Homo-oligomer: A and B are copies of this chain.
Amino acid sequence: MNTSERPQAQLLTNPRSDRVREVAKLAGRSARQRQESFLAEGPQAVREALRLHEARRLAGGAGVVEDVYLTAETLARYPEFGAVVPPRMVTAEVLAAMSSTVTPQGALAVCRFIDSSLASVLERSPRLIAVLVEVRDPGNAGTILRAADSAGADAVVLTSGSVDVYNPKTVRSTVGSLFHLPVVVGVDTRDLLTALAGHSVTVLAADGYGDWNLDELQDASAARRLAPSSLSVNEQDARKPFLEASTAWFFGNEAQGLAPEVLEAAGHRVSVPIYGSAESLNVGTAATVCLYASARAQRG
């Protein structure tokens, strides 16, 4: 163990110290914007933050983690948490005072903003992007980000009217996925549509009143893969979007869905089938079904 891996000598014990107050402020958006930093709380998030930190440093870039705060119990249980950035040891009381959650579970990291630029995402020829348009609930945003990670999406984009991705509740509900794939924030929806068109990315708008049913698109995709000779060509088929194409899925606000002008500008409106009597789908559920349908078609 070299010097840089050694825990800081001093145990922080005062829950009312200036440092504790500064960290705790990061639960609020204005402090996060000012310090360009956010909280990763709990062992899972801290582990993923440290992994990304290490990967970026090995690639010659700037790190992600500014400070790691651990209780002695946590360091004993996860000694690897002390191996990347010299941790600051704290009492459980100090950690509770720093944290936005009632159960910080012994670990907290202060991280620098990690969002990517839209240009950097697009120049890597993404195949699958999830776009959150004015999604307001932190838990929903986190769930979609995690589902996008599971479906192997290349990036997640949050438009300017969406919830702050660095909101502690959003970070928590991504369960580490925030650190797994590029996230772009604060994008104007019209600029995004223009940029996607310029990179030949098909835009599919998830909408209860879509022109296409996701089932039709999945069937056509499966037929192309499994039984190409069975395909009949007609005008409707020619207009039908291919799930295999590079795709950006747009998901709208929980209550209002996507705005009419966004639906108009998006190339295709696609509805997720509702087989039962539910009136609508939770946006996280709809996003999961759509992203998995694309992932299957693209990797089939």
Contact = CB atoms under 8 A, between A and B. Distances in A.
Interface in A172-225: 175-177, 180-181, 215, 218-219, 222-223
17 contacts: A139-B139, A143-B284, A146-B285, A148-B276, A149-B278, A151-B275, A151-B276, A152-B274, A175-B282, A177-B277, A177-B278, A180-B276, A181-B276, A181-B277, A219-B300, A275-B299, A289-B289
B150 A275 contact: yes
Interface residues of A, number: 43
Nearest to A176: B279
A73 to B, nearest CB: 19
Contacts of A180: 276-278
A150 B215 contact: no
A273 B284 CA distance: 18
A175 B282 CA distance: 9
Those 9 A-B pairs whose CB atoms lie nearest each other, nearest first = A152-B275, A227-B227, A152-B276, A149-B278, A150-B278, A222-B222, A149-B276, A180-B277, A288-B288
Contacts of A242: none
Nearest to A181: B276
A39 interface: no
A175 B283 CA distance: 13
Contacts of A226: 219, 222-223, 226-227, 230
A180 B150 CA distance: 30
A210 to B, nearest CB: 15
A146 B288 contact: no
Contacts of A278: 146, 149-150, 175-177, 180
Interface of A: 139, 143, 146-153, 175-177, 180-181, 215, 218-219, 222-223, 226-227, 230, 272-282, 284-285, 288-289, 292, 295-296, 299-300
Nearest to A292: B289
A92 to B, nearest CB: 21
A241 to B, nearest CB: 18
Given A226-B223, A226-B230, A278-B177, A218 B296 contact: yes
Nearest to A227: B227
A281 B150 contact: yes
A139 B138 CA distance: 14
A227 B228 CA distance: 9
Nearest to A221: B222
Contacts of A227: 226-227, 230
Nearest to A147: B285
Contact of A284 (B175, B223, B285, B292): B285
